[in-house]
Structure 1
Amino acid sequence: MATEALLGEAFSDHGFDVEAFEVVPAERVHDPVGDVAFPDPTGYDVIVPLGATWAVYDEALRDSWVGAEMALMRDAAEAGTALLGVCFGGQLLAQTFGGTVARSPHPEIGWYDVVSDRPDLVPEGPWFQWHFDRWSLPPGATELARTANSSQAFVLGRTMALQFHPEVDADLLEVWLAEDRDGDVVALGSTHDELLSRTAELADDVAARIRLLVQGFLTYTAAQPRPS
């Protein structure tokens, strides 16, 4: 499961109080279907739905908490709350606002170069990926960035979605790799040691770029006019 990690630090640096909400507890990770009582979205300036190991289009999940979270995202957007989705969270936003999400023919795990049309919003460079699905853009959305395999970022009003994981540091990656029981990393041609080594090499660069990313989101996306 994802945590806010570096992303939380970047928001804190901009003066935000960061509050985490666990949707599926660790003891239910293999049985994630169930009702969730989400907090009132109008009590927050920014909501950041993060990553997860499931598919946003899973029908059983859509009939339970994924559907409820989509409704929360719509309510938040209508109230003027800024939204920043990460990986599963980005796919959730795409699906919420009329795009589609489906299995990708080219899954991505590891560090991939992301090409950006708006480096002031989404800095270019290697960003960490761990996903098997990809989105189609919601109506009215503008794509900001991409890899050769999938769209990587879009904006829609006060909403921005990211396919990559800007929050990843070595500590968080070690947790994910410990849960890689199916050998997804090796299946896609890498090793755990290679990913950890590359993550360490990029640590300072990523820390700088994630602060630019959050600054761009707050300056351009979150500053868009609120719905009337």
Structure 2
Amino acid sequence: MRAHYLQHVPFEGLGSVEAWLEHAGYEITSTQLYKSIEFPDLGSIDMLIIMGGPMSVNDEDKFPWLELEKTYIRNAIKAGVPIIGVCLGAQLIANSLGSKVFPNAEKEIGWFPIQPVATADEATFQFPEEINVFHWHGETFDLPPGSVRIASSSACRNQAFQVGANVIGLQFHLETTSDSAQAIVTNCRDELVEGEFIQAEDQILAAPLEQYKAINKLMGTVLDFVSGPNSPVH
């Protein structure tokens, strides 16, 4: 079993996802788009994970590889590859399926709660009633055609969506560890300006270890769900 991830900047890696994949017995490979635009054959991978990044999906003039990446993601969805997109990754999934990505009414940076969106479809992922998760985004997206909204928040209506049985986009970060939180603060602290949904650096980094453990556990549950009954963890 092989899991491949798409990484957009050096400081936004797999976080807690790496330990889950290793425990599940996956071989882990990556395309680091800031270095290379080589993508593996879709028939050779069993899961695709699309990480975050400070750029916009609309920045194709600055980052020409975005167009190639969107095509790859679109083809992966068509091929039935299990996929998780995190933050920019979720926006890339939405955009690759034809949805617009645009500035959200509020930037959302720090620890804020999300709530599940009730659906009649039992085949959709179910989030807990409320959990504080880590956010770092200024854009949002229209839901992709045929998708289902599965989480929302006060600041951002489309926090998570599901396409089919095994594609999930998360606007927020469940993979964040204390180290990766420090890394994104170090590299993006210029975004920590005053705002209703923007926390100060010291408040962000003061989150207790239990908070990281809670979101990392939830990310494991999302990975379990997306990987399906044939995953090594089932």
Shift in Å, 1:61: 4.6
Question: Do the aligned residues in 2 keep the contact of 1:153 with 1:160 (CA within 8 Å)?
Answer: yes
Shift in Å, 1:201: 4.6
Within-5 A mapping of 1:9-24: 9-24=19-34
Are positions 1:38 and 2:36 aligned together?
Answer: no
Shift in Å, 1:117: 3.0
The alpha-carbon distance between structure 1 residues 45 and 122, as it changes in their structure 2 partners (threshold 3 A), is farther
Distance 1:87 1:122 in 2: 17
Shift in Å, 1:42: 2.4
Distance 1:181 1:207 in 2: 23
Distance 1:14 1:121 in 2: 22
Within-5 A mapping of 1:3-152: 3-25=13-35, 36-61=37-62, 64-117=64-117, 120-123=125-128, 124-150=130-156, 151-152=158-159
Distance 1:95 1:101 in 2: 7
Distance 2:143 2:201 in 1: 32
Q: Provide the residue aligned with 2:216 in structure 1.
A: 207
Q: Which letter does structure 2 place at the counterpart of 1:174?
A: Q
Shift in Å, 1:11: 2.7
- Identity level (%): 26
Q: Secondary structure at the match of 2:109?
A: strand
Unaligned runs of 5+ in 2: 1-8, 119-123
Distance 2:84 2:210 in 1: 26
Q: Which letter does structure 2 place at the counterpart of 1:207?
A: N
Shift in Å, 1:216: 2.4
Shift in Å, 1:141: 0.6
Distance 2:96 2:126 in 1: 22
Q: Provide the residue aligned with 1:155 in structure 2.
A: 162
Give the RMSD, CA atoms, in angstroms.
2.2
The count of residues paired between Structure 1 and Structure 2 equals 210
The alpha-carbon distance between structure 1 residues 16 and 122, as it changes in their structure 2 partners (threshold 3 A), is farther
Give the TM-score taking structure 1 as reference length. Answer: 0.83
The alpha-carbon distance between structure 1 residues 48 and 199, as it changes in their structure 2 partners (threshold 3 A), is farther
The alpha-carbon distance between structure 1 residues 219 and 52, as it changes in their structure 2 partners (threshold 3 A), is same
Unaligned runs of 5+ in 1: 26-34, 223-228
- Is 160-169 or 9-18 further displaced after alignment? 9-18
- Is 72-81 or 208-217 further displaced after alignment? 208-217
Question: Do the aligned residues in 1 keep the contact of 2:31 with 2:38 (CA within 8 Å)?
Answer: no
